[in-house]
Structure 1
């Protein structure tokens, strides 16, 4: 189970990085096309959807590197309680991820069932970008589960912003 969860997290991370790298191509193309008086109808919408996927799939990387923000007031005030609060935070994150997954899949199902498309010339079925929500939730859930089971929490996660 853990190797599969790690693999899925790494795959989501790779996809996020690839999307980030590839986003510059259509944006550059659009800039050049506009300078020649031939703007496109597809660049803004497709790059927006790619950015949505990048953000949600990036959840896996944020958990792997402990880049998610944390409120550390109580653990900082009572250092002996840090392990307890770390575990509590992970359980809360798992529950939140389940909520994201369930509501995200409902959102996707609703858009498929009602054949909702974007209000642009492309008329992209909106279930496609909405799919980023439950997939991001799955990445968040799996990587948090890996952390919870293995006890892997980097020291950087405990730093306070501004220190």
Structure 2
């Protein structure tokens, strides 16, 4: 095995670990969200009044679940796909299409990163805070977009590299 393949293998393994970490953090956020909503239901039932902070935090946790878990879902091929027309293609053309779509998705993910950083920086620069009772600085949840975009771009890179593996090219 040459040095480049070792580096690539290490890199793809490292990217997979980052995606796993994002998925685990998303799962923790989901657990916290479930506990918070259960608490909210209990408080409303016994007091007849809602809490003032659960809604705001639940929105941020929902954002975290989506943005942090997206790369993990991609790694596991858990995103939905409509493959009716793709299934009609030859294996070679399917591979070309996968390379193209992974490149497009990397570009899209980079847009998430760049625009997300711009948004978070603007929120930070102008001291934007949420209008809710908590007054959360909006750059904090705003960073979820570029972090999720980075994880997603890296995992799309992994998917792209898979298309050049001996198994994908048929050169074992």
For structure 1, list consecutive stretches of 5 or more residues without a partner in the other structure.
153-163
Report the alpha carbon displacement of residue 22 of structure 1 after superposing the two structures with TM. Answer: 2.0
Partner of 2:147: 135
Q: Give distance in 2, aligned partners of 1:106 and 1:29.
A: 35
SS at 1:36 equivalent? helix
Task: Identify the residue that residue 155 of structure 1 maps to in structure 2.
Answer: none
- Tell me how many residue pairs correspond in the alignment: 153
1:14 has 2:24 as partner: yes
Q: Which moved more, 1:17-26 or 1:84-93?
A: 17-26
Where do residues 143-158 of structure 1 align in structure 2 (5 Å cutoff)? Answer: 143-151=155-163
TM-score (norm 1): 0.85
1:132 positional shift: 1.0
* Residues 123, 138 of structure 2: 8 Å contact kept: yes
Query: Which residue does the alignment assign to 2:120?
Result: 108
- Which secondary structure state, in structure 2, belongs to the residue aligned with residue 39 of structure 1? coil
Q: How far is the alpha carbon of 1:74 from its aligned partner? A: 4.8
Give per-residue Cα distances to partners, 1:61-95, cap 9 Å, x unaligned. Answer: 22101223445465334334101001101111111
SS in 2 for 1:119: coil
1:161 corresponds to: none
Q: Within the alignment, does 1:67 sit opposite 2:78 as a pair?
A: yes
The two structures have a TM-score, normalised by structure 2, of: 0.81
Aligned twin of 1:4: 14
Gaps of 5+ in 2: 1-10, 165-172
Name the structure 2 match of 1:97: 109
Q: Secondary structure at the match of 1:115?
A: coil
- Asked which structure has the greater RCO (Cα within 8 Å, sep 6+), the reply is 1
